[in-house]
Structure 1
Amino acid sequence: MCNEHGPFNRRRLLQGLGRTAAVAAFAPAVLSTRLAEAHVQVTHEELAPGRPEAVGLCSERIEDVFARIQRRVNDGLFPGAVALIARRGRIVGHRAFGTRVRGADEPVTLDTLFDVLSITKVLATATSAMILVQDGVLRMNDRVADFIPEFAANGKEAVTVRDMLRYTSGLPLDCHFLDDPDGERVWRRMAESPLEYVPGTQVLYSDLTYRLLGRVIEAAAGVDLDTFAKERIWGPLGMSDTTFNPSAELIARTAATGYSEARGRVLRGEVQDDQDHALGGIVGCDGVFSTARDIAVFCQMILNGGRYGGVRVLSRQAAAAMVNNQTPEVRAEETDLSPITNLLMTPKGYGWELATRRFSHGGSRLTTGSYGKAGGTGCFLWIDRRRELIGVLLTNHGLPTPLDEIGWNRMLDAVGNVEFFDGIVNAALDA
């Protein structure tokens, strides 16, 4: 006993919802505040195995967290999962559950890869953009149209890289052109999309925004997003199982997601979003496959202020800016009204979701300043920076069908992400 101490039309997500109404990220006047808020401490260079009690966690409660995941798998709510819990640089729990393919006798293992869908936005896109800003290749106030000329159409000439990074570009949630087989024409049609609101006046989480931001990064870097992320993020961090478009060798240990009507098959090693697959699978909003261990390494790097294993990926300033509130014009009290409005409209960092009191995908017990990311296939990561606590939950639930508000809520209820993260915090003896 522990003591207390397409077929998927993402625009549908907005149906029935009410609409709510410093350019350089590293400016010196902003930095002192950002760093003070971040509580960044480089104290744990690399993750290593450890006992829960050694880092102030209760073993019995950690086991309870894992038992609840197993119960959901046993009940058929999703085929399989891998969960990882780490604190103060120690991995205190890392478990695999269920099967890689629904109905098959192929157990999930700790090194199983998952289609993490929108977690791509932080694992690849936002971090790559910050690296290019550090390098002086990209600036926060650069106009998107300078890299994608077609983007200037429909009054979008002034939209900046920073607008995109913080989900305030004015672009719609998404648009699909699955009836058009010409990839370059699809990119042009997406770039020409009209604005839905005045840039910088509200948050609207947008796959279209990050899909196009990926194109900006590729234009600035001169290589595709997969190549850049492997060279500057995943390779230096030793994240050898993180990739777009897994090879045949990696597909053998990749978990399948759902059935695609457009492709006529159960998907395994292919990004589930049909539009992203049609564009080649390497895009800024979705497409990364990864393991819980690799994602935990990435999380520890962010928690360490941009450094891990003797390698600095991001400056302290960049790491702090990514996970602090970059949308002060938006009030959580007015937008944190449901799980969907939380995802779409609450304050954001650069790529990251920020913890809120009501409907955070990381539960209600994270401390102020915590941050994380949801992936629509049923994958979640959250970091409580004050507690130095990392939680990663990867499942192969797959995109909800239909992908609307009710479908999203059903997926969350099935996966139990709130129960998972609340349970982790409950295991902290000093919570």
Structure 2
Amino acid sequence: MLSASLWIDEGLNALRELEENITGYTVPANYGSASFNQVRPLYPGAVALVANEGTVVSHFSTGYSYKYADADGTLSPQSELYVVASLTKMFTTILAMQQLDKGAFGLNDPVVTHLPGLDGGKEDVTVQMLMTHTSGFDADPDPGLWYGYPTVEERREAILRIALINEPGKRYLYSDINYMVLQLLLEQVTGKALDDLLKDDLTGPLNMTSTFFNRRNVQLNKSELVERHIVSTEYQIEVLGDIEPDRLQPVWGTVHDENAWGLDGVSGHAGLYSSALDLGVFCQMILNNGTFGGTRVLKPETVDLIFTNFNGAFPGNAHGLGFELNQNYWSGAMRSLKTAGHTGFTGTSLAIDRPSNTLWVLLTHRVHPSRTWSNINLARENMGFFVAKALGRIE
């Protein structure tokens, strides 16, 4: 396991500053554009983790898990389970890289070679294009899967029919559709549902017991949600209207993302629940070149593809397989072409800095009570700043 340890005084001081900073954003204030010029906290609660050289050097929680769904509020424990939104894509990425290792498909293979149902002029879309957001797909399905089609099977079939809006390989456009298609590809070549594949090939072998999909969108009652430390999210119907899924408000215990909800709670682009410690294991596996706790899940040369920029033709959008590279908005002063990471819409992020063998995770539920509540990039950037300060990179 990742183990707790102490750093030298300078590093510890920076980590204490980090905790004060992340905690500070739970206090209502006008944070400018981050709080849309309103007096409010950036998020009701958060859990953060930092590890260096395989050792946890900071792990803390702050604020509330259920602040606006509970009259009194419940303090955040460190074990909290968050809907991690698009961090799901990073897990789908690793599952795809495992299939690369097995020779099930190649990066430059046309997806349609292995997924014949992907029709409509998409013959030139490759696996690499899906994983670097250069396929030509739009950002999201239109209409949304959850209301545009009556059954889960019809929604899955609709994904295969989505038309391209750009020529493959000619433009970068971040797209959830890429990872919906990648899920269907993985299920086709492995013969397993994505959630089963995840458990069998990744979270099970790495003993990541807090990382899972909620297949069939099973709704737990409030006492069960509190007991399992699952954070609440958004009053979606109040915010967006009756087009939203008809379910418990605020959304709590089922996936926040509506398209993932429409896909029975399991999608390649969103839907996972996880904890900071599990995400720490995930990131450390990557820093360990594909192994953790004596279990290898990827070849070292395949891990290198996470830190290889495939998007040199699209300045500002550096991308390894699945992971973004060299982005200020989630890594701040730690940004580099060897710093890989990603964010999630609900207020989550993870970052992996290969040169310093450092990882950091920030989990918030900034969409509680509303997605219009805040933008937490300020907190993400500041976390990178204090990690850099702890490492002695900056004064």
TM-score (norm 1): 0.79
Q: 1:163 to 1:217 in 2, by over 3 A?
A: same
The corresponding residue for 1:351 is 322
Q: 1:269 to 1:147 in 2, by over 3 A?
A: farther
Quick one: which amino acid aligns to residue 229 of structure 2?
R
The corresponding residue for 2:35 is none
Q: 1:400 to 1:319 in 2, by over 3 A?
A: farther
The corresponding residue for 2:126 is 160
Q: Counterparts of 1:213 and 1:279 in 2: how far apart (Å)?
A: 14
Which residues in structure 2 correspond to 1:263-342 (within 5 Å)?
263-264=246-247, 265-332=249-316
Q: Counterparts of 1:320 and 1:365 in 2: how far apart (Å)?
A: 19
Q: Which moved more, 1:66-75 or 1:86-95?
A: 66-75
Q: Counterparts of 1:206 and 1:400 in 2: how far apart (Å)?
A: 25
Residues 188-212 of structure 1 show CA distances to partners (whole Å, capped at 9, x for unaligned) of 2222122111111222111011111
Residues 234-288 of structure 1 show CA distances to partners (whole Å, capped at 9, x for unaligned) of 1111111100118756772111111221235111221111121011011100011
The corresponding residue for 2:175 is 206
Selected match of 2:155 from 186, 197, 202: 186
Q: How far is 1:307 from its partner?
A: 0.9
Q: 1:180 to 1:106 in 2, by over 3 A?
A: same
Residues 314-341 of structure 1 show CA distances to partners (whole Å, capped at 9, x for unaligned) of 0001111123212222222xxxxxxxxx
Selected match of 1:66 from 19, 38, 45: 19
Q: Counterparts of 1:100 and 1:274 in 2: how far apart (Å)?
A: 21
The corresponding residue for 1:109 is 77
Q: 1:400 to 1:355 in 2, by over 3 A?
A: farther
Is residue 203–residue 347 contact of structure 1 (8 Å, CA) maintained in 2? no
Q: How far is 1:187 from its partner?
A: 2.2
Q: Counterparts of 1:277 and 1:179 in 2: how far apart (Å)?
A: 13
The corresponding residue for 2:347 is 378
Q: Does 1:134 align with 2:98?
A: no
Residues 374-402 of structure 1 show CA distances to partners (whole Å, capped at 9, x for unaligned) of 01100011112111111100001128966
The corresponding residue for 2:34 is none
Q: How far is 1:141 from its partner?
A: 3.0
State the secondary structure of the residue aligned to 1:411. coil
The corresponding residue for 1:237 is 206
Q: Does 1:78 align with 2:43?
A: yes
The corresponding residue for 1:420 is 383
The corresponding residue for 1:100 is 65
Is residue 331–residue 351 contact of structure 2 (8 Å, CA) maintained in 1? yes
Quick one: which amino acid aligns to residue 136 of structure 1?
G
Q: How far is 1:139 from its partner?
A: 2.5
State the secondary structure of the residue aligned to 1:163. helix
Q: Does 1:253 align with 2:217?
A: no
Q: 1:195 to 1:400 in 2, by over 3 A?
A: farther
Q: Does 1:171 align with 2:134?
A: no
Q: Does 1:218 align with 2:187?
A: yes
Q: Counterparts of 1:98 and 1:376 in 2: how far apart (Å)?
A: 19
Gaps of 5+ in 1: 1-45, 333-345
Q: Counterparts of 2:270 and 2:350 in 1: how far apart (Å)?
A: 15
Is residue 236–residue 370 contact of structure 2 (8 Å, CA) maintained in 1? no
State the secondary structure of the residue aligned to 2:285. helix
Selected match of 2:86 from 111, 115, 118: 118
State the secondary structure of the residue aligned to 1:268. coil
Gaps of 5+ in 2: 29-40, 238-243
Give identity over the alignment, percent: 30
Q: 1:149 to 1:258 in 2, by over 3 A?
A: same
Q: Counterparts of 1:307 and 1:399 in 2: how far apart (Å)?
A: 35
Q: Counterparts of 1:400 and 1:127 in 2: how far apart (Å)?
A: 32
Q: 1:250 to 1:132 in 2, by over 3 A?
A: farther
Q: 1:57 to 1:394 in 2, by over 3 A?
A: farther
TM-score (norm 2): 0.86
Q: How far is 1:367 from its partner?
A: 3.9
